[in-house]
Amino acid sequence: SIWDSEKEEYFFSVVDVVGALTDSKIPRNYWSDLKRKLKQEGSELHENIVQLKLKSSKDGKSYLTDTLDTKGVLRLIESIPSPKAEPFKIWLANVGNDRINEVFDPEIAVNRAVNYYRNKGYTDEWIKARLIGIVDRFKLTDVWKSGGITKKVRCF
C-alpha cells in the first residue's frame, strides 16, 4: 500500500489483493482477466484504478502498478469468487446492514460510538465531552453556513 498525501487516502496494489484472496499462481493474469470481465459487465471499478509506482518485493525496484483506494478494494473483494474472499464479503454485508439500520434509528450509531470509546478505555466523562464537542461543532458550522460561509478552508 501507499499513502497519497494529496488525496489523504491509502492505495493498495490490486495484484497483491488478488494474490491474497485467490489460489492463482499468477495473480497478475487473474487480475487482467477479472478486469476485462468487470468492464464487460459494466462495472465502474476499472475506472477507479490509479497507476502508482510501488516497490516490487522481487527486485526492490519501483513499477507502475494498478492500485485502488479502500472503497475500490472493498468493491474488488466483492467481485472475487473465492472462499478466501467470503469472510470479507460477510463482514461487508454486516457493516452495510448496520449502517442501514442506523439510518432508520440514529441512536444505534450513537451507541456504537459510545461503546467504541468505552472499549478504547475512555471514561464516561470524556465520552460525554467528546459528544458535546461534536454537537457544538455542528452548531458552529450551522452558524457559519447561515452567515454565507460555505467553503472549506485548511488551517494548516
pLDDT digits (tens, 9 = 90+) for 7-40: 889 999 999 999 999 989 999 999 999 999 999 9
The answer on pLDDT for 154 being more than 70 is no
The answer on pLDDT for 147 being more than 70 is yes
Q: What is the pLDDT of residues 90-122, one digit of tens each?
A: 999 999 999 999 999 999 999 999 999 999 999
CA-to-CA dists, residue 86 to 83, 94, 135, angstroms: 5, 12, 38
pTM metric for this prediction: 0.76
39 vs 41: CA distance, rounded Å = 5
The answer on pLDDT for 56 being more than 90 is no
Q: Three-class SS string for 78-96? A: HHCCCCCCHHHHHHHHHHH
Name every residue whose Cβ is closer than 8 Å to that of residue 10 and which is 6 or more positions away in sequence. Answer: 1, 2, 3, 4, 69, 70
63: three-class secondary structure by DSSP: strand
- The DSSP symbol for 6 reads T
Contact 49, 104 (CB under 8 A): no
What is the average per-residue pLDDT within 34-53? 90
Query: For residue 58, what pLDDT is reported?
Result: 82
